[in-house]
Chain A
Amino acid sequence: MSEQLFQKMAQSIIDGDSDAAVALARESIATGIHPLDAITKGFVMGVNTVGDAFGRGEAFLPELVMAGEAMKAAVATLDPELKRRGSERKILGKVVIATVEGDIHEIGKSLVATMFGASGFDVYDLGVDVAPDKIIGKAIEVNADIIAMSALLTTTMVKQKEVIEELEKEGLRGKFKVMVGGAPVTRDWVKAIGADGYSEDAIGAVTAAKQLVGVA
Chain B
Amino acid sequence: MQPKLELLSKELTDRILDEAFQLMMNPGIKVQSAAARKLLAGAGAQADETTEVVKIPEKVVREAVRTVPKTFYLFDRQGNCKVTYGGNNVHFDPGSSGVHVLDPETLEHKTAHTPDLIRLVKVAEMIPQYDAQSTAVVCDEVPKSIGDLYRLYIVLMHSVKPIVTGAFGIKTLEAMIDMVALFAGSRAALAEKPQAVFDICPSPPLIWSKFGAENLIALARSGVPAEIVSMPLAGAAAPVTLVGSVTQHAAECLSGITIHQLAKPGSPIVWGGAPAIFDMRKGTTPMGAVETAMIDASYAQVGKSLELPTHCYLGGSDSKIVDAQAGLESGVGAIIGALAGVNMISGAGMLDFLACQSAEKLVVDAEAVAMAKRLLAGLEVRTETLATAFFEGINFKGDFLKQKVTRELFQTEQHLPSTIIDRDSIRGWQQSGSLDTFERAKIRTAQLLKEYQRPQIALDKEKELTSIVQHLAREAGLEKLPNLD
Contacts and interface: CB of A to CB of B under 8 A. Distances in A.
Interface of A: 16, 60-63, 65-66, 69, 106-107, 110-111, 183, 186-187, 200
B401 A111 contact: yes
Contacts of B406: 62
A107 B398 contact: yes
A19 to B, nearest CB: 10
Contact of A110 (B399, B404, B410, B427): B399
Contacts of B402: 65-66, 69
Nearest to B405: A62
B425 A183 contact: yes
Contacts of A110: 398-399, 401
A123 to B, nearest CB: 15
A184 B428 CA distance: 13
B410 A62 contact: yes
Given A63-B407, A65-B401, A65-B402, 18 more contacts: A16-B404, A60-B411, A61-B401, A62-B407, A62-B410, A66-B402, A66-B404, A66-B407, A69-B402, A106-B397, A106-B398, A107-B398, A110-B398, A110-B399, A110-B401, A186-B427, A187-B427, A200-B425
10 contacts: A62-B401, A62-B406, A66-B404, A110-B398, A111-B401, A183-B425, A186-B427, A187-B427, A200-B425, A200-B427
A183 B428 CA distance: 11
Secondary structure of the B contact surface, majority rule: helix
A93 to B, nearest CB: 24
A181 B157 CA distance: 53
A111 B398 CA distance: 11
Nearest to A15: B407
Interface in B391-432: 397-399, 401-402, 404, 406-407, 410-411, 425, 427-428
Given A60-B410, A200-B425, A200-B427, A107 B404 contact: no
Contacts of A65: 401-402
B407 A16 contact: yes
A106 B410 CA distance: 20
A211 B428 CA distance: 21
Contacts of B407: 16, 62-63, 66
Ordered nearest first, which 6 A-B pairs have the shortest CB separation? A62-B407, A65-B401, A62-B406, A106-B398, A107-B398, A65-B402
- Most chain A CB atoms below 10 A, which of B397, B402, B427, B428: B402
Given A62-B407, A62-B410, A107 B427 contact: no
A133 B411 CA distance: 42
A200 B428 contact: yes
Contacts of A60: 410-411
A173 B405 CA distance: 43
Contacts of A183: 425
A66 B401 CA distance: 8
Interface residues of B, number: 13
A16 B399 CA distance: 15
Contacts of A66: 402, 404, 407
A16 B408 CA distance: 11
A90 to B, nearest CB: 26
Interface in B410-461: 410-411, 425, 427-428
A111 B400 CA distance: 12
B390 to A, nearest CB: 13
Contacts of B399: 110
Interface in B354-408: 397-399, 401-402, 404, 406-407
B27 to A, nearest CB: 61
A60 B413 CA distance: 14
Contacts of B397: 106
A19 B331 CA distance: 45
B400 to A, nearest CB: 9
Contacts of A62: 401, 406-407, 410
A14 B130 CA distance: 33
Nearest to A62: B407
Nearest to B431: A200
A176 B401 CA distance: 30
B421 to A, nearest CB: 13
A65 B400 CA distance: 10
A202 to B, nearest CB: 11
B406 to A, nearest CB: 5
A69 B401 CA distance: 10
Given A60-B410, A62-B406, A62-B410, A107 B425 contact: no
Contacts of B427: 186-187, 200
A65 B427 CA distance: 23
A16 B397 CA distance: 20
B428 A107 contact: no
A107 B401 CA distance: 8
B423 to A, nearest CB: 11
Contacts of B410: 60, 62
Contacts of A106: 397-398
A111 B427 CA distance: 19
Nearest to A104: B398
A186 B428 CA distance: 11
A135 B399 CA distance: 22
Nearest to A61: B401
Contacts of A200: 425, 427-428
Interface string B70-81: 000000000000
Interface string B129-149: 000000000000000000000
Nearest to B410: A62
A69 B427 CA distance: 28
Nearest to B409: A62
Contacts of A111: 401
A65 B403 CA distance: 9
Contacts of A186: 427
A200 B431 CA distance: 11
- Most chain B CB atoms below 10 A, which of A61, A65, A106: A65
B172 to A, nearest CB: 46
A110 B399 CA distance: 9
A200 B427 CA distance: 8
Interface in B442-482: none
